[in-house]
Amino acid sequence: MDPKMPKGVLFDLDGTLLDSAPDFVASLDSLLKKHNLPKLDPNIIRSHVSDGSWKLTSLAFNIDMSDEKCPALREELLEEYESNLLKYGGAFDGIEEMLASLERDGIPYGIVTNKPLRFAEPILINEPVFKNCKTLICPDHLDAIKPDPEGILRGCKDLGIHPTECVYVGDHVKDIEAAMNAGTQVVACYFGYSLQVHDCSKHILGANHPNELYELILQL
C-alpha cells in the first residue's frame, strides 16, 4: 500500500453508501394511507431521511417529536420500513465500483451509522455490495451517537488504525462534526440527503456523485 494512502475508510450508511429514501417513501405512503392521511412529497421525505425516524414521523403526522403520540407512530413507521428494506432502494450507483477500488488498494472499510442494528445488519447481509465491510457500528454498540466521536473511534479500533490514518465519509453535518471530533480526515457527500456545499468549510472535500469518492479519499 502506498504510504500516502489512508489505512482505512469509515462510511455513514443512509445517504452515503445507501439510497434508502425509496424504501422510506414507500413505507410512509403505506402508513399514511392506513391513517387516511395524504402522501408526503417524496422530495421532502428524501431531504429528511438522514435526520432519522423521529423527524420523519413528525413530518408525516405534523406533530412535534415530543408529542405523546409520536413514539407509537414512529414504531408503526419502523415496522413498515422493516418490511420494505432494500425493496425499492439499494447502494447508490458508483458505490460498488468505489468499494472495489478500495479493496484493490488493500484499504479496509467499515460503516458507522446512527441507524439501529435492527435495520443496518439485514441491509449488510442482503446487499452484496457491502460483503467486504469489516465492521458495522450502530447506536446499539455505543453510549453516544454522532456527532459524538465514539462510533468513529470504535470503528478505527476495529480496523486497527489510528484516527489520523482514517477517512470518514458522510452526508450530514453530524457526520462532519463527528469526524472532526474524532480527529479523522473527512469527505462530505453532497449527493446525499442533507449536506449542501455551504454547510461545510471550504477546506472540506466534497463529492457531488459517488463516482468522485475514490479520488477524493486518496487525496487525503
Known catalytic residues? 12, 14
C-alpha cell at 173: 453535518
- The conformation of residue 208, written as its DSSP 8-state character, comes to S
- What is the distance, to the nearest Å, from the Cα of residue 184 to the centroid of all Cα atoms in its chain? 17
Quick check: 211 and 97 in contact, CB under 8 A?
yes
Number of other CB atoms surrounding residue 80 within 10 Å: 19
CA dist 179 → 96, 110, 118, 135, 140 (Å): 23, 14, 24, 17, 19
C-alpha cell at 183: 480527529
Number of other CB atoms surrounding residue 128 within 10 Å: 11
14 - beta bridge partners? 18
- Cα distance between the two ends of the chain: 15
Assign 169 to helix, strand or coil.
Answer: strand
